[in-house]
Amino acid sequence: MALLEIRGVSRRFGDFLAVDDVSLSIEAGEFFCLLGPSGCGKTTLLRMVAGFDAPDGGAILLDGRDVAGIPPEKRDVHTVFQSYALFPHMTVAQNIAFPLTMAGVGAEASRRRVEEALDGVSLGGMSGRYPSELSGGQRQRVAVARALVDRPKLLLLDEPLAALDAKLKERMQLELITLQKEVGITFVYVTHDQQEALALSHRIAVMNRGRVEQMDEPSRLYGSPRNRFVADFIGTCNLLEGEVAAHSRDALELRLDGIGTVRSSPVEGQVERLVPGVRGVLALRPEKVAISREAPLPGHNRTTGKVFDFLYLGDVTIYVVELDSGVRVEAMLPNSAPGRAKFFEAGDSVHVGWLPEAGVFLTD
């Protein structure tokens, strides 16, 4: 049985459907991410799980029990707020002791557990400080320690690292992964940062306009996006417009606008749907696109164009190639690869190629 089950939950504000028929099932011990652009309804969904808001339709089950009507303080769920919401009039120790006090834990036991919790987030010695005397990263750790000290079944984190700078963010991500493994508590983590979601989670639900677009493991989301939104939102992706030319059990042929006929891998179970003439996009990751001065190896789909511009990123360079028809394709080449030491310049004529199985044809 799933620890948290969200069944067809909706929430509307006036005419606006903030959460639209969302169903999710989250297993105990999982590090689960809700990923989506800002305003897509992540916080709204999280607040309904925490009990600050109630769904207009559907049900939320925690450990198999419907939590409708149960106030937040009676749910075995804690939240790490984006603002951290540390009580400014209490010391670090008093903040962390708060849930223990509420649960009626004795002073002695409480002190011991607060100390353990502080050590757990390497903040020993900070117990007497006030939140205003802490740095951003320290506040974040106190917020996590406070939410974990009485071992809830489920921890909700709403963009907990959004306020931190890039370096600190990376370090806190590693710490959160370690911590989650150690305590074994289920994390539901909300973020709009796709890299963060890919790095942290066991599974990700990608949300858009209140709906879950796709739910999968990070590698499968990246490798096999189900629709245009997911392909575009996770990582970068060339989206080449076109239509199905022919589709059989072992071959899919596409006619791409401004490129021509290319081969792609057949899509399982879609042979009937992807009949010739159906329009869609070929989602092609830039790192799967090869560019070279010589014609690419046989077996590749190929075309030609001119380097329009490039973006040097240190470890890799992204080249924007303008094909003869005007369509632009991005290709990412590692700067360390042998034989790639020589960069292309803007204006160079190049061959562009990719393998049939490199892209996914999406009709949504």
Ligand X SMILES: Nc1ncnc2c1ncn2[C@@H]1O[C@H](COP(=O)(O)OP(=O)(O)O)[C@@H](O)[C@H]1O
Residues that bind other proteins (CB under 8 A): 50-52, 69, 71-73, 77-79, 81-83, 85, 87-89, 98-99, 102-103, 146-147, 150
Closest CA to 85 of 194, 196, 159, 5: 159
Which of other proteins, ligand X, Mg ion, none is residue 302 near (CB under 5 to 8 Å by kind)? Answer: none
The rounded distance, in Å, linking the Cα atoms of 117 and 103 is 16
Query: Least CB distance from residue 309 to ligand X, whole Å?
Result: 33
- 41 or 266: whose CB is closer to ligand X? 41
- 41 or 242: whose CB is closer to ligand X? 41
Query: Least CB distance from residue 245 to other proteins, whole Å?
Result: 54
Which of ligand X, other proteins, Mg ion, none is residue 161 near (CB under 5 to 8 Å by kind)? Answer: none
The rounded distance, in Å, linking the Cα atoms of 128 and 135 is 15
Query: Least CB distance from residue 209 to ligand X, whole Å?
Result: 9
145: tokens are: 């320690």
The rounded distance, in Å, linking the Cα atoms of 118 and 146 is 9
Which of other proteins, ligand X, Mg ion, none is residue 71 near (CB under 5 to 8 Å by kind)? Answer: other proteins
Which of ligand X, Mg ion, other proteins, none is residue 157 near (CB under 5 to 8 Å by kind)? Answer: none
C-beta of residue 63 within 8 angstroms of C-beta of residue 5: no
Residue with tokens 């963010």: 169
Helix %, strand %, coil % of the chain (to 5) = 25, 35, 40
Half-sphere exposure of 201 (CA within 13 A, CB side): 30
Question: Could you give the C-alpha distances from 146 to 7, 59, 159, 266, in angstroms and in order?
Answer: 29, 28, 17, 51
- 38 or 132: whose CB is closer to ligand X? 38
- 82 or 265: whose CB is closer to ligand X? 82
C-beta of residue 117 within 8 angstroms of C-beta of residue 141: no
Query: Least CB distance from residue 53 to ligand X, whole Å?
Result: 8
Residues making contact with Mg ion (CB under 5 A): 43
Query: Least CB distance from residue 66 to ligand X, whole Å?
Result: 22
In order, the DSSP letters of 329-360 are EEEEEESSSTT--SPP-TT-EEEEEE-GGG-E
- 9 or 283: whose CB is closer to ligand X? 9
Which of other proteins, Mg ion, ligand X, none is residue 52 near (CB under 5 to 8 Å by kind)? Answer: other proteins
Which of Mg ion, other proteins, ligand X, none is residue 18 near (CB under 5 to 8 Å by kind)? Answer: ligand X
- 65 or 279: whose CB is closer to other proteins? 65
The rounded distance, in Å, linking the Cα atoms of 303 and 349 is 11
The rounded distance, in Å, linking the Cα atoms of 278 and 362 is 10
Query: Least CB distance from residue 13 to ligand X, whole Å?
Result: 3
- 18 or 289: whose CB is closer to ligand X? 18
Query: Least CB distance from residue 77 to other proteins, whole Å?
Result: 8
Closest CA to 6 of 39, 42, 36, 40: 42
- 40 or 97: whose CB is closer to Mg ion? 40
Residues making contact with ligand X (CB under 6 A): 13, 18, 36, 38-44
C-beta of residue 107 within 8 angstroms of C-beta of residue 94: no
Which of ligand X, Mg ion, other proteins, none is residue 39 near (CB under 5 to 8 Å by kind)? Answer: ligand X
The rounded distance, in Å, linking the Cα atoms of 179 and 156 is 14
